[in-house]
Amino acid sequence: MDVNGKTAVVTGGGSGIGRGIVRALAGQGMNIVVADIEQAPMDEVVAELASRGTEAIGVRTDVSKLDQVEALAAAALDRFGAVHVLCNNAGVGVSDPVGATSLEDWRWTIDIDLWGPIHGVHVFLPIMERQGEPAHINSTASMAGLYAGASLGAYNVAKHGVVALMASLERDLRLAGSPLRASVLCPGPINTNIVDSERNRAAESAAQHVGTTAGKKFWDILTRTLADGMNPDEVGPMVLDAVVNDRFWVLTHPDMGGLVRKQVDQMLEDRSLTR
């Protein structure tokens, strides 16, 4: 797909991986719609893009709310007339063992991490189909969408859902002979603000976070691991490559695929899961 002069919408584009995706797509001459729940970083990205000559707007959006995703699409069409690339990237994380995860933590995580991409596909797919030209939807899942490790149940469930959503969509599109394509980004550790996800959470919802010792311990390890993680600006070009070259799987750390392979081996050999 030739993206030059076309329009991309990137959710969670104000920070981290989303910001990296925005920069990569803008670097190929795309117009950009940055959608984020956090106004200041979103404004900062839009200003950066404008200073480099990219046509860009910011639309404050909570991806867990269908009406706000519909308003995002309306704003994008109003400004640019079409949308050729959608990156469902906005996401949050919370850590606790499954048995100690509050219902509010389940809802908060799944509303944003899974319903966000579902809303994106639901709203933008018909728009892209009406346009009748090549277009692409990428969603950010995680290695946690391919391997369900301990202390991250709600996030694992949401991200496995995102992988299934995008694989189903890609197969449906191919079966229908559509010019549209789908792909999924499964990052390993990336140095972003996700460890501070609660910054965007409503106080009454955050109050329901249990915060077990096991959950806190895991989050501390994760915080240190991500601080040493990949620069998000290295991830953006991988998503661009998937869009331009029709690649479905985008793994930032393919070496972590060994975890997935081990789990498949355990399944086929009918062995128990290890820790």
Phi-psi region of 120 (alpha: psi -120 to 50; beta: other; left: phi over 0): alpha
> Given the complex with ligand NAD, which of 106 and 179 has the nearer CB atom?
106
> Given the complex with ligand NAD, which of 61 and 178 has the nearer CB atom?
61
> Given the complex with ligand NAD, which of 220 and 265 has the nearer CB atom?
220
Measured from the CB of residue 139, what is the shortest distance to ligand NAD in angstroms? 8
* Residue of 115, 124, 155, 218 marked catalytic: 155
Measured from the CB of residue 185, what is the shortest distance to ligand NAD in angstroms? 7
Residue whose C-alpha is closest to residue 248's, from 87, 138, 119, 125: 138
Query: What is the contact surface with ligand NAD in residues (CB under 6 A)?
Result: 11-12, 14-18, 36-38, 41, 61-64, 89-93, 112, 140, 142, 187, 189-190, 192-194, 197, 200, 226, 229
Measured from the CB of residue 94, what is the shortest distance to ligand NAD in angstroms? 11
Measured distance CA(272)–CA(275) in Å, rounded: 10
Measured from the CB of residue 5, what is the shortest distance to ligand NAD in angstroms? 26
Measured from the CB of residue 209, what is the shortest distance to ligand NAD in angstroms? 15
Query: HEC profile for the chain?
Result: CCCCCCEEEEECCCCHHHHHHHHHHHHCCCEEEEEECCHHHHHHHHHHHHHCCCCEEEEECCCCCHHHHHHHHHHHHHHHCCCCEEEECCCCCCCECHHHCCHHHHHHHHHHHCHHHHHHHHHHHHHHHHHCCCEEEEEECCHHHCCCCCCEHHHHHHHHHHHHHHHHHHHHHHHCCCCEEEEEEECCCECCCHHHHHHHCCHHHHCCCCCCHHHHHHHHHHHHHHHCCECHHHHHHHHHHHHHHCCCEEECCHHHHHHHHHHHHHHHCCCCCCC
Identify whether 155 is a catalytic site residue: yes
